[in-house]
Amino acid sequence: MCGRFTLQASELQILKEFDLDQQLEGYQSRFNIAPGQQILSIVHNGEDRKAGFLRWGLVPSWAKDPKIGYKMINARSETAHEKPSFKNLLSRKRCLIVADSFYEWKKTDGGKQPKRISSAQRALFAFAGLWDKWEVDGEEPLFTCTILTRKADSFMEDIHDRMPVILPKDAEEEWIAPVKRHPEEVARFIEKLPTEPLKAYDVSTFVNSPKNEGESCIKPLA
């Protein structure tokens, strides 16, 4: 799964990397982004790329209770096209979720050791995400998202059996293209994506609590 990540890049770096022509109103760099929080995402509105904030934890448009979002922070890419919560979103509501690293917890004899994992080749990247809009009469619309995951590659399998789908740079435009696609076609697209070369190091259990923030989250463990 992917349950925590970071985004410390400057606003200018993000605008340049993702070819955005706008301000990122409300943007702040983060060391410990957790489910239920607002995360920077990018969609294509048919004319341009647009960045904004989505709450992490998908609430499908048909859901009766928005609390379901806390159970839907990730979607398995291998089976998403079969699931009512995700298959229509694969077809038409795909987004980029901007990050520069993520955390995973490796099981050891001494307990779970948190690791910070980042790209070995680039400072910024995007997870493949899905989004939806939930609304009921008398309440503000709720825009939420989920991060797609896949089976761990040879690097990640020593840490965890799953990993987030990180989009290659040349696949980002196709992922968010405002074109309706069959969910199975999208599933095959993800399956064929190469995995990102990664690097990792141990960090303190300080990062375990989503209430903790700051450079202590990413400081290499002595």
Q: Average of pLDDT values for 7-16?
A: 96
Phi, psi (deg, nearest 5) at residue 136: -130, 160
Report the sign of the C-alpha dihedral through residues 68, 74, 79, 81, in that order. positive
Indicate the pLDDT class of residue 136, thresholds 50, 70 and 90.
Answer: confident
- Tell me whether residue 221 is in a domain: no
- The mean pLDDT value of the chain amounts to 95
- Return the closest-CA partner of residue 114 out of 179, 213, 209: 209
Task: Decide if pLDDT at 138 tops 80.
Answer: no
- Tell me whether residue 52 is in a domain: yes
The predicted structure's pLDDT at residue 222? 81
* CB-count exposure of residue 66 (10 Å: 0-12, 13-18, 19+): middle
- What stretch of H or E contains 88? helix 87-92
Can you give the residue range of the structural domain that contains 189?
A: 5-101+122-196
The predicted structure's pLDDT at residue 121? 95
- Whether 11 is a known active-site residue: answer no
Judged by DSSP in three states, 36 sits in coil
Indicate the pLDDT class of residue 137, thresholds 50, 70 and 90.
Answer: confident
The percentage of residues in the chain with a pLDDT greater than 70, rounded to a whole number, is: 100
- Tell me whether residue 107 is in a domain: no
- Tell me whether residue 147 is in a domain: yes
- Domain with residue 76: its CATH number is 3.90.1680.10
Indicate the pLDDT class of residue 139, thresholds 50, 70 and 90.
Answer: confident
Of the listed 104, 145, 172, 217, which one is catalytic?
104
The pLDDT tens digits of the residues spanning 156-180 come to 999 999 999 999 999 999 999 999 9
Q: Please, are residues 53 and 141 in contact by the beta-carbon 8 Å criterion? A: no
- Tell me whether residue 139 is in a domain: yes
Can you tell me the distance from the alpha carbon of 90 to that of 86, in angstroms, rounded to the nearest whole number?
Answer: 6
- Report the domain count for the chain: 1
Task: Decide if pLDDT at 88 tops 90.
Answer: yes
Task: Decide if pLDDT at 110 tops 80.
Answer: yes
The predicted structure's pLDDT at residue 211? 96
The pLDDT tens digits of the residues spanning 175-197 come to 999 999 999 999 999 999 999 99
Can you tell me the distance from the alpha carbon of 9 to that of 53, in angstroms, rounded to the nearest whole number?
Answer: 16
- Whether 217 is a known active-site residue: answer no
- Tell me whether residue 60 is in a domain: yes
Indicate the pLDDT class of residue 1, thresholds 50, 70 and 90.
Answer: confident
Q: Average of pLDDT values for 20-38?
A: 95
- Tell me whether residue 36 is in a domain: yes
The predicted structure's pLDDT at residue 112? 96
Judged by DSSP in three states, 216 sits in helix
Can you tell me the distance from the alpha carbon of 116 to that of 199, in angstroms, rounded to the nearest whole number?
Answer: 8
Judged by DSSP in three states, 165 sits in coil
Task: Decide if pLDDT at 58 tops 80.
Answer: yes
The predicted structure's pLDDT at residue 64? 87
- Tell me whether residue 14 is in a domain: yes
The predicted structure's pLDDT at residue 70? 85
